Structure 1
Amino acid sequence: MTEYPNDSSTPSRPFPIRPWMVVACVVAIYLSLVYFWNDQKVMEFVFPRQIGEGIGYDGQFTYFIARDPLGAAALIKERLDYPAYRYQRILHPILTRILSLGYEPVMPWVMLLIDYLMIVIGVAALEVLLTDLGVSRWHALTYGFFGGIVAAARATTTEPLAFGLVIVAILAGMKGRIRWQAILFGLAALAKEPTLFFAAAFVLYYLTQKRYRDALLVGAASLIPFLIWQLVLWLWLGEVAMGSGGAGATGFEIIPFGGVWRIGVESPPVFAYMFPYLALGAILPTLLALILSGRDLLMGKAHPYVWCVLLNAAVIPTVPFSTFREPFGIIRFLPGLVLSFLLYAALWVKWERPRRPLVYASIWVIWSLVLIG
């Protein structure tokens, strides 16, 4: 496997090609092919038959809530799901309703456009973070082409929006724009709750650096709106929104990687098929991230990216069986680990350590596409 050239200090060209441009073109082509392959029916992005087995997928809940913000709870219940859990990721449907001006026929297009633009914006911001660490901007393709992001756009789920906001929030913080970082982390939490691990990572870093005001600002802006919204949902719907998933979800695991081992209990043939993929794309990177980041913290090497990869890796062993058993479910859970590991591996290069982890991270792209297939 060859390394990308380090272009962090190369002279600018009149019309340089950037990773975000490549991602914008490739993802646009992919989404267009999906559209034309399905008889030019935009609703295929909302109710993807190939992913949702004929009953739709998580993007349908964004559509239901955007179409009828107050009345969607009853429809979600009819589909034997949990309204509070679906409503907690409120940012995507609210943006969809605002940008569509409440006009239902264009809502699927707006949902798709939001995800598409946030993939491109996320990659563009990630380029800056990588070049600031002295590595090639082209490593941003690892995130931009990761299946958990691209396929999420195909199913109009929340990951592109949530993690795009996270990347821009990280960039704002690294550039000293702490207020903007706090606001963006707060929005990301309302798009998808696992993004709170990134906010927590920066809070912990600021605390260790005795930047108490920054820690308070980021912590409060990230957590308070999220908790208020959780309270509203509980008072309104009578349900606790926080949980391991919607209909059919199992609980978080106590035994490390218990969700993986339970596949073997339920179906040994499926376990034999899936375990190599899960080991390569989830288990081994998680263990590596925990060991290396933990060692760095013990050595006193404080950096936000160390905390980011530690927290995002720490949650993977608890991922429910219902997520691990579903290929699309697990790749949608991994963008946080992929993003944090990518930044951490780039930090290694800045610390004059081997760049192999940065290069090997690109395997995630191939792995996720094969797993989806």
Structure 2
Amino acid sequence: MSSAFTASISQFFSGERKKQHFLLRPSVIVGLLYILFFLFMARFHGFSILSYVHLGRVSHTPNTHTAGYDGQFFYYIAQDPLHAAWRMDNAPYRYQRILYPMLVYLLSLGGMTALIPWVLLLVNFFSIVLATEFVARLLCKHQLSPWFSLPIGLYYGQTTAFVFDTTEPIAYFFVCLGFLLLANKKTLLAAIAMGLGCLCRETAILFPLGYVAILVLNREWRNAFIFGLISLVPLPVWYLCLQFIFGSTGLGYAPSFEPIPFQGLFVFQGNSRFLPLLILMFVPTVLNILYILIEVRHNRWKTATWISWLLNLLLVIFMSRLSYVELVSAGRLSTGLVIAMVFHAWYTRNNWLLWMAMLYTLTFPIYIYFL
């Protein structure tokens, strides 16, 4: 019985098995879990779809008692892209991540107010599910189990972005699509996808940046120039547009990095949020540090995936204390680290690293517990 069970588990996580049933695949499981989570959260929100926007007094909304959250700004841009600035704390900063609200504007038939809250949620829902599907297909291409894609959808940073209507799911949807296109040797389309991801969330730039860096190290100057032009340049060009429109790019509004590793996290020591931060953020990041050093020791670091992994790791290590104030912001900002780890494990066919990444799936129920 024991050996049969072990064999079945081994087969389940093996890339060498028969074609999956449509309903028994990681992306479908992730989708079902998010639907259940949405129904669970709906009870606490009084089944009000607008509550996921998190409107607040910062946007001059009457009769509110909180500052709200970032989703409100994408809601207002989607309502009226040309005249939403007056409702914002810092308009150029909020307009940096323009692609998400503009897509919602189009899908809500030109900003129909009643549709926007639904479309905000649905765009993120399908972004999470499809990103998981893309990574599952990448894993299968290397004869690895598609179930190792679960961290892409079940990391709690994706979960918080889903219920707070923020841009991370669609940003990393484009990143995952870009890697799938790269694996299929569709380089120009991959560059376009990653460029679009950067216009959803600026931290997505760490992925095309890693790819361009490895092209430069390999002296593939022409490929580096073309890929960088398409994937990296759109973001600074958009910043120049913001400078022209608002007289500012909004870059100085973002919280600055801490000078000491994990300083932003440990300032909360003794606070009630310290324990969940320790479990959800500190322990997994330390494991990342240890494993990224192991990859250097085994000379598996001269890859685009390793460089992107390192850049995302540094982002989390030196994250501002303002980003640790809430589990939401800390999770959102660290999502790229999880995705970068999985991509590197996929590229190097590293089963041990994939198993370690699976620990991130536990953050989904842990986050729900701490709600």
Structure 1's 217 and 188: CA in aligned 2 closer, same or farther, altered over 3 A? same
Change (3 A) 1:96 1:15: closer
**Is the CA contact (8 Å cut-off) linking 1:3 and 1:359 kept in structure 2?**
no
Q: Alpha-carbon deviation of 1:54? A: 4.1
- Structure 1 distance, partners of 2:13, 2:218, is 31
Q: Are residues 1:23 and 2:30 paired? A: yes
CA distance in 2 between partners of 1:28 and 1:4 (Å): 28
Q: 1:47 to 1:275 in 2, by over 3 A?
A: closer
Does structure 2 conserve the Cα–Cα contact (< 8 Å) formed by 1:130 and 1:343? no
Amino acid at match of 1:30: F
CA offsets, 1:292-338, max 9 Å, x none?
34445xx3753322222122112222210111232111111111100
Q: Report the Cα offset of residue 87 of structure 1.
A: 0.4
Q: CA, structure 1 residues 34+87, in 2 after alignment: closer, same or farther (shift >3 Å)?
A: same
Match of 1:47 among 45, 48, 54: 54
Superposition TM-score, scaled by structure 2 size: 0.87
1:63–1:108 Cα contact (<8 Å) kept: yes
User: Do residues 308 (structure 1) and 308 (structure 2) align?
Assistant: yes
CA-CA distance at 1:160 after TM superposition: 0.7
Write the distance in 1 (CA, Å) between the matches of 2:273 and 2:76.
35
Question: CA shift at 1:64, angstroms?
Answer: 0.8
Alpha-carbon distance in structure 2 between the residues aligned to 1:104 and 1:271: 35
The DSSP-based 3-state class of the residue aligned with 2:268 is helix
* Number of residue pairs matched by the alignment: 353
Q: Which runs of 4+ in 1 moved over 6 A?
A: 1-4
Quickly say closer, same or farther: Cα 1:280–1:215, change in 2 above 3 A: same
Matched with 2:287 is 285
User: Which aligned pairs between 1:65-84 and structure 2 lie closer than 5 A?
Assistant: 65-76=77-88, 81-84=89-92
2:268 counterpart residue number: 263
**Is 1:329 aligned with 2:326?**
no
Measure the CA separation in 1 of the matches of 2:121 and 2:23: 27
Alpha-carbon distance in 2 for matches of 1:182, 1:254? 33
**d(CA) in 2 for partners of 1:125 and 1:87?**
28
* Offset, 1:191: 0.1
Q: Is the 8 A contact 1:123 1:141 kept in 2?
A: yes
- Residue type at the aligned position of 1:45: Y
Q: Which amino acid aligns with 1:165?
A: F
User: How many angstroms does 1:61 deviate by?
Assistant: 0.8
Residues 139, 362 of structure 1: 8 Å contact kept = yes
1:274/1:243 Cα in 2 relative to 1: closer, same or farther (>3 Å)?
Answer: farther
TM-score where L is the length of structure 1:
0.86
Amino acid at match of 1:70: L
**CA RMSD, aligned part only?**
2.6
Distance 2:277 2:232 in 1: 36
The 5 A counterparts of 1:1-373 are 5-12=12-19, 15=22, 17-35=24-42, 37-47=44-54, 54-76=66-88, 81-102=89-110, 103-243=112-252, 245=254, 250-264=255-269, 268-270=270-272, 273-274=275-276, 276-277=278-279, 278-282=281-285, 284-295=286-297, 299=299, 302-348=302-348, 350=349, 355-367=351-363, 369-371=365-367, 373=370
SS of residue paired to 1:253: coil
Identity within the alignment, %: 27
Q: Which amino acid aligns with 2:284?
A: G
- Structure 1 pair 256/128, CA: closer, same or farther in 2 (3 Å)? same
Gaps of 5+ in 1: none
In structure 2, relative to structure 1, the CA distance for the partners of 1:39 and 1:203 (3 Å cut) is same
Q: Which moved more, 1:271-280 or 1:100-109?
A: 271-280
Aligned partners of 1:174, 1:335: CA distance in 2, in Å? 22
Q: 2:222 and 2:65 mapped to 1: Cα distance?
A: 49
Q: In 2, Cα distance between the equivalents of 1:55 and 1:3?
A: 49
Q: Secondary structure at the match of 1:240?
A: coil
